[in-house]
């Protein structure tokens, strides 16, 4: 289906804001237009990112959701100021059943599936998924999706 990207973001953010009083979900949405993708699955990826941001930032309030256009793709990022992920573990978080071990593993329940499923969805849609993080400072999770250019029948 074709859908208004920022409209989907706002819908998910409003739903999830209702689940937490501790956190403030802040939207920073640049114009991104319409995209062609599986709306339900893309919304699931966003839910996975934001529920992680909430779960792994127990002592900070703000979570920033940004969208923007970058050449031929829309990019969305979810930034938290929570526990962060060390450099050597950052690539592994997209693996099936991977969870950063140690104290956090016991503190925060989970299966280690959300990001694996998210990366499968985004790959299938032709996009990219990645993370930037600093241990103890917070994380920014990103995904992008291709924007289909309108077909110009005069060419």
- Residues within the interface to Mg ion (CB under 5 A): 52, 114
Given Mg ion, ligand ATP, none, residue 113, with its beta carbon under 5 to 8 Å by kind, binds ligand ATP
Given ligand ATP, Mg ion, none, residue 99, with its beta carbon under 5 to 8 Å by kind, binds ligand ATP
Exposure of 89 in the CB half-sphere (CA atoms within 13 A): 14
Residue 145 · residue 53 · CB < 8 Å = no
Report the alpha-carbon distance of residue 62 to residue 131 in Å, rounded. Answer: 18
Given ligand ATP, Mg ion, none, residue 3, with its beta carbon under 5 to 8 Å by kind, binds none
CB 26, min distance to ligand ATP, A:
15
Judged by CB, which is closer to ligand ATP: 36, or 41?
41
Interface with ligand ATP (CB under 6 A): 48, 52-53, 56, 80, 82-85, 93, 98-100, 104, 110-116, 139
The token pair at 59 is 């002592």
Alpha helices, H only, the chain: 5-17, 39-55, 87-90, 103-107, 114-124
Instruction: Decide: helix, strand or coil at residue 153.
Output: coil
CB 18, min distance to ligand ATP, A:
19
Judged by CB, which is closer to ligand ATP: 5, or 56?
56
Tallying the residues shown for the chain, one arrives at 155
């Amino acid at each position: 289906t074709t859908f208004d990207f920022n409209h989907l973001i706002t819908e998910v953010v409003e739903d999830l804001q209702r689940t937490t009083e501790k956190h403030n979900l802040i939207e920073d949405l640049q114009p991104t237009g319409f995209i062609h993708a599986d709306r339900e699955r893309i919304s699931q990826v966003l839910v996975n990112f934001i529920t992680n941001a909430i779960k792994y930032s127990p002592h900070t309030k703000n979570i920033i959701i940004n969208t923007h256009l970058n050449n031929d793709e829309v990019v969305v990022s979810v930034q938290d100021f929570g526990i962060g992920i060390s450099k050597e573990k950052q690539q592994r978080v997209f693996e099936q059943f991977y969870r950063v071990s140690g104290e956090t593993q016991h503190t925060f329940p989970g299966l280690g599936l959300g990001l694996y499923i998210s990366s499968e969805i985004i790959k299938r849609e032709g996009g990219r998924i990645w993370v930037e993080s600093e241990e103890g400072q917070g994380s920014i999770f990103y995904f992008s999706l291709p924007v289909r250019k309108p077909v110009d029948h005069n060419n």
